[in-house]
């Protein structure tokens, strides 16, 4: 009977403490452990544990309100990755797009890449008396890549010279029609003289390029129209079906004959005329004979 009274007193005191805890939630009234003895055995009270759990719910700030849990989807790893992926892809593509190719690095204002056969022909004709250097290269050519920085330096040192770049991979058919089969390959053009020279050189033989540049750099005045590509090269480009290029051959001028040959031709072409009758020539003896005959007749 004493043990039952003790248990009821503990439970009543526990309810009193929980009511105090509602007014002062900072004070913890839940005991760490309660145990009751019955005879020689002692065991924890399940009722006290349930009361302790119930008191912990009563001590919360919600006071029976409905709990609403919100999940921040942006904080989830999958959501974050899905939002970051477009930005990362756009940044990568922008960075890749800004990366220059080796033949685009160091380009000077007087350097330009040819876009077609017609562009090459028009550029040479519009250059006038200016020296034009055509640079044939390939992206996969190691010699072209090694020589490119020096060509850019020479272009910077000679702003009056026009450099035209022809990508062999993009214009393979045009290069074939122009008989370009070795890379890197260079051609020099100027005014009415047309093609001045052509050669192939590498980084080790750059002296060949420098010598040709020094020889043809001085300004010259052409006495005729700009020539550009040769006639047979223009015909080869026009005959190439893979190129959208048309060319009308120029009419060949008539050969000019020397003056004495023209006279001979005129004489041969003149109509036939009868020979002129010339007056007969008489000697003094014939005249004396005529006089004698005339007097004897009288």
Name the catalytic one among 141, 175, 197, 221: 141
Name the catalytic one among 144, 175, 197, 201: 144
| Beta bridge partners of residue 165, listed in sequence order | 113, 135
Catalogue the long-range contacts made by 169-177 (C-beta closer than 8 Å, 24 or more residues apart). Answer: 169/138, 169/139, 169/140, 171/114, 171/116, 171/117, 173/240, 173/242, 173/243, 174/116, 174/117, 174/120, 174/237, 174/240, 174/243, 175/136, 176/240, 177/117, 177/233, 177/236, 177/237, 177/239, 177/240, 177/243
Say if residues 125 and 162 touch (Cβ distance below 8 Å).
no
Is 197 a catalytic site residue? no
Is 141 a catalytic site residue? yes
Supply the residues annotated as catalytic: 141, 144
């Amino acid at each position: 009977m004493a043990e039952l009274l003790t248990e009821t007193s503990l439970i009543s005191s526990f309810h009193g403490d929980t009511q105090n805890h509602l007014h002062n939630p900072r004070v913890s009234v839940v005991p760490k452990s309660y145990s009751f003895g019955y005879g020689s055995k002692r065991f924890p009270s399940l009722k006290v544990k349930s009361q302790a759990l119930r008191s912990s719910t009563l001590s919360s700030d919600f006071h029976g309100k409905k709990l609403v849990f919100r999940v921040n989807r942006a904080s989830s790893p999958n959501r974050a990755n899905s939002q970051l992926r477009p930005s990362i892809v756009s940044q990568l593509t922008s960075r890749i797009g800004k990366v220059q190719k080796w033949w685009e690095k160091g380009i000077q204002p007087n350097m330009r890449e040819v876009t077609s056969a017609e562009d090459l022909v028009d550029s040479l004709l519009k250059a006038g008396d200016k020296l034009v250097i055509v640079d044939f290269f390939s992206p996969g050519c190691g010699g072209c890549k090694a020589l490119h920085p020096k060509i850019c330096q020479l272009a910077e040192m000679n702003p009056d010279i026009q450099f035209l770049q022809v990508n062999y991979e993009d214009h393979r058919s045009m290069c074939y029609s122009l008989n370009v089969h070795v890379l890197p390959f260079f051609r020099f053009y100027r005014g009415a003289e047309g093609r001045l020279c052509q050669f192939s050189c590498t980084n080790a033989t750059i002296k060949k390029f420098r010598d040709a540049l020094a020889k043809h750099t001085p300004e010259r005045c052409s006495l005729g129209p700009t020539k550009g590509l040769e006639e047979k090269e223009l015909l080869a480009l026009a005959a190439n079906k893979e190129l959208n290029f048309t060319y009308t051959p120029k009419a060949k001028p008539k050969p000019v004959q020397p003056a004495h040959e023209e006279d001979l031709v005129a004489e041969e072409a003149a109509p036939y005329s009868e020979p002129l009758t010339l007056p007969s020539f008489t000697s003094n003896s014939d005249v004396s004979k005529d006089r004698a005959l005339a007097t004897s007749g009288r």
